[in-house]
Amino acid sequence: MTASGKNTFRKHSRLLGTGVLLGSLIIATSAGAASRTPEGVAYDAMDVRSLTTWVVPAQTKGWIGVQGKERSKRLAVTPGNRFLRVMKCHAELYFDRKTGLNLSVAQKAKLKEILTRTRDRLIPMDARDLFLVQHFEAMVASPSVDIARLSRLNELIGSLEGDEAGTFVEGLKSLQGVLTARQRKTLRAKNGDVLPDTTVDLSGAVFLADRILAIRWNVLERNAAFSSDAERNAWLSNYLKGRREIQELGIEKTVWDKKSGDILEAPYMDFRALGEIEAKAGPVEARFWETLIKTVGSLNPPSATQGSSRP
């Protein structure tokens, strides 16, 4: 490939950031469940207080002093926009004359139709996802957290994001399926000229989890009457142990996110290889969020009727 050919795809790449399929928030569970039930999730008074105090005004901003782009950007907690940017990236590559696919008028029309259809399917899914994530953030900012309710909400978010990921992959396969065998061969030949992601930024979910744990520790300190330094240190041990476990899982999760991102940034996408990576990444993602919820429960104030008891 010529230098200009290499730049053609580079111009359209580097869109994945914190991971694509499972890197946005909670691990997917049974497909379809969330889209049927989010309207039935009930807020209580503490949820609403947290929603109006913490979540709606601030949403999810980055912090000064963290590793990379989280410094200057809000942290996206739903995957829809990222999914559509990746799809548009590939469509633009196909349209670019430098790529050499020489699309027909009918193929161009079909590619536009797929983008529009996928966008229209993702809009309601991503909106419901955002509303559920707001509820999740409101719950973890409450004085005490009902861990059973939080776990159920986690499952709803995971199921809905699983539906979004399925729609995204279906759209990508449809885009690539528009091409003829000769055009696919042209794209496949360009894969060897694309370098892997060379950033080391942790996945955005790690920063979100750390933010949640910081909130829980501050709530604990405001609401707990520690009887001694030893008791306070026991609660501190819960926080530090959970944070360390989440950090380790977050590192492993980031590696898998980078691997899936490399496949999705290639001119010709290998969906079998992507499926193999996601099969290995899924259990890591599940442990990450399960550990977060367990740690949140371990930081409930001693007076809380839900969740953990004194350490």
Looking at residue 33, what is its pLDDT? 43
Inside any domain, residue 25: yes
Looking at residue 39, what is its pLDDT? 45
CA distance 222 to 142: 12
Q: Which residues contact 150 (CB under 8 A, 6 or more apart)?
A: 136, 139, 140, 293, 296
What is the pTM (predicted TM-score) of this model? 0.78
Is the Cα dihedral 103, 109, 110, 115 positive or negative?
positive
Looking at residue 228, what is its pLDDT? 80
Structural domain range at position 253: 3-298
Looking at residue 13, what is its pLDDT? 40
Inside any domain, residue 201: yes
Inside any domain, residue 308: no
Inside any domain, residue 310: no
Looking at residue 1, what is its pLDDT? 38
Report mean pLDDT in 10-residue bins for the chain, 311 residues: 39 38 42 44 60 52 52 75 96 96 98 98 96 91 91 94 96 98 96 92 86 85 77 86 94 96 96 95 94 94 52 52
Q: What angle do CA 297, 301, 307 make, to 5 degrees?
A: 30
Looking at residue 28, what is its pLDDT? 38
Domain count, the chain: 1
Inside any domain, residue 303: no
Inside any domain, residue 158: yes
Inside any domain, residue 304: no
Looking at residue 8, what is its pLDDT? 40
